[in-house]
Amino acid sequence: MKAFRKHKGIVAPLDRANVDTDQIIPKQFLKRIERTGYEDCLFFDWRFTPDGKARPDFVLNQLRYKGASILLARANFGCGSSREHAPWALWDYGFRVIMAPSFADIFYSNCVKNGLLPVRLRETEVEELFRCTEGEVGYELTVDLETQTVSNGDHFSAKFSTDPFHRECLLGGLDEISLTLKHEDKIRAYEQNQLPKFIRPQVK
């Protein structure tokens, strides 16, 4: 997993609350188990018409938000089922930060496990950012996990808090496998002690 420390990017405003994981990536795309290849599946029913044409009124289809890597949303983002494909699709599209007043717990955890930074901001701060993104083409923010700040370098600055364990994982680029391998010596020693003496491999 790629470590996250600081990121600067264009903000795309998704002005909707209670965005569930079935809207983030609909169920017909869950047959695959690979973690990549979901860019065109993200928000599929909102982005495209039934015949596959892009909907011009949807935020990600608007030229002013092209290349956005920070997604701004309303409360309870990522509710619904626990599908890990949701953060995979967001990552594949190019998002590295999701900002909202609140997130569904399982979705929040899945984001961290996949290198995405979910940032909880106050409702008033989110409201101000929606105004900024609508008023300025290519509106950018810098998100710094080390200082836990969000800023545009001018008039907007906000603090956010991240669970210390989640923060450590993101800063170090540690997924569940990496965390386990940090204890490789202890695991090997335990396995050695569990095997009968006559079949224990000799560890040099």
CA 12 to chain centre: 14
Q: The whole model's pTM is what?
A: 0.86
Q: How many angstroms separate the CA atoms of 30 and 138, rounded?
A: 32
Q: What is the 3-state secondary structure (H, E, C) of 54-91?
A: ECCCCHHHCHHHCCCCEEEECCCECECCCCCHHHHHHH
Please report which confidence band the pLDDT of residue 34 belongs to, taking 50, 70 and 90 as the band edges.
confident
- Model confidence at 61: pLDDT above 90: yes
Please report which confidence band the pLDDT of residue 196 belongs to, taking 50, 70 and 90 as the band edges.
low
Burial class (CB in 10 A: 0-12, 13-18, 19+), 118: buried
CA distances from 156 to 70, 94, 125, 150, 179 (A): 16, 24, 9, 8, 36
Work out whether strand 6-14 and strand 117-120 pair parallel, antiparallel, or are unpaired: unpaired
Q: In the prediction, which pLDDT does 8 show?
A: 98
Q: In the prediction, which pLDDT does 57 show?
A: 95
Please report which confidence band the pLDDT of residue 154 belongs to, taking 50, 70 and 90 as the band edges.
confident
pLDDT digits (tens, 9 = 90+) for 174-187: 876 565 555 566 66
* CB-based contact 5:146 (threshold 8 Å): yes
Q: In the prediction, which pLDDT does 14 show?
A: 98
Radius of gyration, alpha carbons of the chain: 20
Q: How many angstroms separate the CA atoms of 166 and 84, rounded?
A: 17
For residue 92 the two structure tokens come to: 């594949």
Q: Which residue segments constitute the domains of the chain, with CATH numbers given?
A: 6-175 (3.20.19.10)
The string over 151-178, giving b where at least 16 C-beta atoms fall within 10 Å of a residue's C-beta and e elsewhere, is bbeeeeebebebeeebbebbeeebbeee
Please report which confidence band the pLDDT of residue 197 belongs to, taking 50, 70 and 90 as the band edges.
low
Give me the chain's average pLDDT, please: 90
- Model confidence at 6: pLDDT above 70: yes
* CB-based contact 111:99 (threshold 8 Å): no
Q: In the prediction, which pLDDT does 136 show?
A: 87
Residue 150 β-bridge partners? 143, 158
* CB-based contact 105:163 (threshold 8 Å): no
Helices (H) then strands (E): counts for the chain: 8, 7
pLDDT digits (tens, 9 = 90+) for 62-106: 999 999 999 999 999 999 999 999 999 999 999 999 999 999 999
